[in-house]
Amino acid sequence: DRLRHVDSMAQLPYGAGRISHLNAVILGESLESEENDLVFPSHEFSSQALVSSPEQYRKMYERSIEDPAGFWSEIASQFYWKEKWDLEVYSENIDVRKGSIKFEWFKGASTNISYNALDRNIEAGNGGKVAIYWEGNEPDDDGQLTYLELLERVCQLANYLKHVGVRKGDAVIIYLPMLMELPIAMLACARIGAVHSVVFAGFSSESLSQRIIDCKPKLVITCNAVKRGSKAIHLKDIVDSALRESAKNGVTVDLCLTVENKSAMKRGDTKWKQGRDIWWQDVVPHFPTKCDVEWVDAEDPLFLLYTSGSTGKPKGVLHTTGGYMVYTATTFKYAFDYKPSDIYWCTADCGWITGHSYITYGPLLNGATVVVFEGAPNYPDCGRCWDIVDKYKVTIFYTAPTLVRSLMREGDEYVTRHDRKSIRVLASVGEPINPSAWRWFYNVVGNSRCPISDTWWQTETGGLMITPLPGAWPQKPGSATFPFFGVQPVIVDEKGNEIEGECSGYLCIKKSWPGAFRTLYGDHERYQTTYFKPFAGYYFTGDGCSRDKDGYFWLTGRVDDVINVSGHRIGTVEVESALVSHPQCAEAAVVGIEHEIKGQGIYAFVTLVEGVPFSEEIRKSLILSVRNQIGAFAAPDKIHWAPALPKTRSGKIMRRILRKIASRQLDELGDTSTLADPSVVDQLIALADF
């Protein structure tokens, strides 16, 4: 049966009806790869899939490129719009040479994403369906909400928010762990047209206050504490100090709505500021369970999400309502081959874009049942994920390569002692998945029968952009394969010329897509400079990419000053500023290094203030400084003392050399003669402890 399937795939006209005139993806004329480079979806899977062959994909893809307005408006019609969009479905200017960058989708329409995710599904008869299975940190701590119950909880909070004066367009900061209150808070904001900004609860108080100062929220929603594994983290204390810091910078927040997370900390133990702090449980449940929807324009902001860039200041990525709604729902449906009977679990945190698009919005817009997990994958032991899969009969499992690699290291036994038969689709996001992790995920976790959707995308793109459609074509371990409908990726060279066929270069996108971010909050200039000026006429992703002889895309990592640690994006400059804020640190240069589990690790070269000797104590306090300034996830893996840094005569740090030293490629240092003082390099090597 498998052979027959292979046969029929090989005959498929991969690139027939070439769409190269559109400069879009080219699936080569025929597959040139050896069969053993390819992993075919089973006939059983493909035959039930939403998109079951390359031909079907190509037809849909071509239509999406030739007639974006028709393609997307047809899909958009499945949602509820209070007011339909103007005749023109979208308009765009992606070329800085032609004026200000502007993407607009479904302009003139009004809708509400919370209404579409909840009320619309309930009206369709799914009110009794489970929307959220919540699994706490402790295995016996769990809960669930049907669509109807979720709507009621969302309405109560929405009414409370209105009661305290939150209005359409106001910002609300949400600093919560993965409690049900997190998606509830997002949906409640959306319901009244408030703009949520979720801050990952692993960020430090400095980072939180930076975000508060930037978006000036009406209130902060948090909880008193959270347990991660066996450790309790006092989130409320972090918020308290962030609010003190913000106040010093002229931004005061009068209200801090706090969830009492009883399993982590009692009320009585929580530090409290009378008049500002309010327990969620004391007020929200008293509000009515019905709340009228605020209809918003398709281009009204839905949320802000801060992400790292190449300067120390985080960027407030702004997503709007209509296009984001249509895009996250559609990508969710096709990339995971979603069926109404699925139980879907994404291990991300709602504090990152993955949790926005593929825990809260995309799945709920499809009326899916979603697992929300508060805990850690290694608590009580490394089999926790598969306990959860079996407990809820999870059918779609979406995670990050770093988790796959860390579980892989623990051995197969944690996996194989569980049933896992419910799983039918696996998926990955956050960084390139190395082929050996891919194969382990495929063979061991998925028993060699579940396709893997390796989804490439970014905070900025709103939804996934390059991904397998699991039943449609053979996969290659480590390749994100082909673009999603409506997405036109191109590879350009240094000069910004598009290059065709088998090649490598910089990944750009050629046309707007509905889920694209519209600006950086308060800084449209930075938006244009960062993303649209490097290669005029294109959106620049910041990623390197190659395309193989069959047209498959292979993402090769960031080409800018961004490091990807366990799928978390960290700017080297942010880490450097955190290090130099240490009173004894004079200068710092940070580079990424390969890391077995995390993908990339953080390697910091530091110069200390004159006369201060390097010591273990200093090393620890430098790391602590980064944890305090950014968060534990950004702590450097390595501190390398550098009495001096390699600089050019004009004073520019030569990172190329530092990268080579950090990755121990000492025979590849290249030309060091342009350095102001070439002996610095030998000194650094002598001080390395490898």
CA nearest 183: which of 142, 153, 215, 217?
A: 153
Structure-derived torsion over alpha carbons of residues 38, 41, 42, 45, reported in degrees to the nearest 10: 180
Of positions 322, 430, 451, 515, contacts ligand WT7 by CB under 6 A: 430
CA distance from start to end of the chain:
53
Of positions 277, 299, 454, 574, contacts ligand WT7 by CB under 6 A: 454
Of positions 434, 458, 663, 672, contacts ligand WT7 by CB under 6 A: 458
Would you say 94 or 466 has its CB closer to ligand WT7?
Answer: 466
Judged by CB under 6 A, the stretch of 278-286, 390-398, 450-458, 468-476 that binds ligand WT7 is 450-458
Mark residues 328-367: x for contact with ligand WT7 by CB under 6 A, - for none: -------------------------xx-------------
Query: Which one of 292, 560, 637, 682 is the catalytic residue?
Result: 560
Of positions 52, 207, 222, 564, contacts ligand WT7 by CB under 6 A: 564
Of positions 555, 573, 604, 608, contacts ligand WT7 by CB under 6 A: 555
Contact set for ligand WT7, span 601-620 (CB under 6 A)? none
Of positions 120, 153, 518, 558, contacts ligand WT7 by CB under 6 A: 558
457 binds ligand WT7 (CB under 6 A): yes
Token pair 């009004």 in the structure block, residue? 110
Q: How far is the CB of 357 from ligand WT7 (least distance, A)?
A: 8
Q: How far is the CB of 461 from ligand WT7 (least distance, A)?
A: 7
206 binds ligand WT7 (CB under 6 A): no
Q: How far is the CB of 197 from ligand WT7 (least distance, A)?
A: 15
Would you say 399 or 607 has its CB closer to ligand WT7?
Answer: 399
Q: How far is the CB of 459 from ligand WT7 (least distance, A)?
A: 3
Q: Which two tokens stand for residue 43?
A: 């006939």
Token pair 């308009």 in the structure block, residue? 91
Would you say 85 or 539 has its CB closer to ligand WT7?
Answer: 539
Judged by CB under 6 A, the stretch of 148-156, 335-343, 457-465, 680-688 that binds ligand WT7 is 457-465
Q: How far is the CB of 567 from ligand WT7 (least distance, A)?
A: 6
The DSSP secondary structure of 406-454, one letter per residue, reads HHHHT-THHHHTS--TT--EEEEESSPPPHHHHHHIIIIISTT-S-EEE
The 8-class DSSP code of residue 553 comes to E
Would you say 459 or 629 has its CB closer to ligand WT7?
Answer: 459
Interacting residues of 148 by C-beta distance below 8 A, sequence separation 6+: 122, 127, 128
Asked about 550 being catalytic, the answer comes back as no
Asked if 325 and 365 count as a contact pair (C-beta separation under 8 A), the reply is yes
Distance between CA 398 and CA 337 in Å, rounded?
Answer: 12
543 binds ligand WT7 (CB under 6 A): yes
Residue 457's Cβ-count burial label (10 Å; 0-12, 13-18, 19+) is buried
Would you say 193 or 470 has its CB closer to ligand WT7?
Answer: 470
475 binds ligand WT7 (CB under 6 A): no
Asked if 441 and 412 count as a contact pair (C-beta separation under 8 A), the reply is no
Query: For 319, phi and psi rounded to 5 degrees?
Result: -110, 145
453 binds ligand WT7 (CB under 6 A): no
Of positions 28, 54, 322, 432, contacts ligand WT7 by CB under 6 A: 432
H-assigned helices in 515-615: 524-531, 572-580
Would you say 81 or 332 has its CB closer to ligand WT7?
Answer: 332
Of positions 431, 548, 561, 576, contacts ligand WT7 by CB under 6 A: 431
Of positions 351, 567, 601, 636, contacts ligand WT7 by CB under 6 A: 567
Mark residues 295-334: x for contact with ligand WT7 by CB under 6 A, - for none: ------------x---------------------------
Would you say 193 or 316 has its CB closer to ligand WT7?
Answer: 316
Q: How many residues bind ligand WT7 (CB under 6 A)?
A: 23
Q: How far is the CB of 570 from ligand WT7 (least distance, A)?
A: 9
The amino acid at 464: L
223 binds ligand WT7 (CB under 6 A): no
Of positions 222, 270, 455, 607, contacts ligand WT7 by CB under 6 A: 455
- HEC string of 230-290 equals CEEECHHHHHHHHHHHHHHCCCCCCCEEEECCCCCCCHHHCCCCCCCEEEHHHHHHHCCCC
Judged by CB under 6 A, the stretch of 45-53, 374-382, 557-565, 576-584 that binds ligand WT7 is 557-565
H-assigned helices in 319-432: 322-335, 353-355, 362-365, 384-392, 401-409, 413-416
Of positions 489, 542, 551, 601, contacts ligand WT7 by CB under 6 A: 542
Residue 523's Cβ-count burial label (10 Å; 0-12, 13-18, 19+) is middle
- Give the CA angle between residues 457, 589, 310 to the nearest 5°: 35
Judged by CB under 6 A, the stretch of 280-288, 295-303, 436-444, 556-564 that binds ligand WT7 is 556-564
Would you say 106 or 531 has its CB closer to ligand WT7?
Answer: 531
Q: How far is the CB of 555 from ligand WT7 (least distance, A)?
A: 4
**By three-state DSSP, how is residue 129 classified?**
coil
Would you say 406 or 455 has its CB closer to ligand WT7?
Answer: 455
Would you say 119 or 543 has its CB closer to ligand WT7?
Answer: 543
Structure-derived torsion over alpha carbons of residues 112, 118, 124, 130, reported in degrees to the nearest 10: 160
3-state helix, strand, coil in the chain (%, to 5): 35, 25, 40
599 binds ligand WT7 (CB under 6 A): no
- Give the CA angle between residues 591, 597, 598 to the nearest 5°: 40
**By three-state DSSP, how is residue 605 classified?**
strand
Which residues face 304 on adjacent strands?
318
Token pair 């053993």 in the structure block, residue? 36
Q: Which two tokens stand for residue 260?
A: 């009492």
Asked if 259 and 176 count as a contact pair (C-beta separation under 8 A), the reply is yes
> Applying CB under 6 A, which residues contact ligand WT7?
307, 353-354, 429-432, 454-459, 480, 541-543, 555, 557-558, 564, 567, 569
Q: Which residues are catalytic?
A: 560
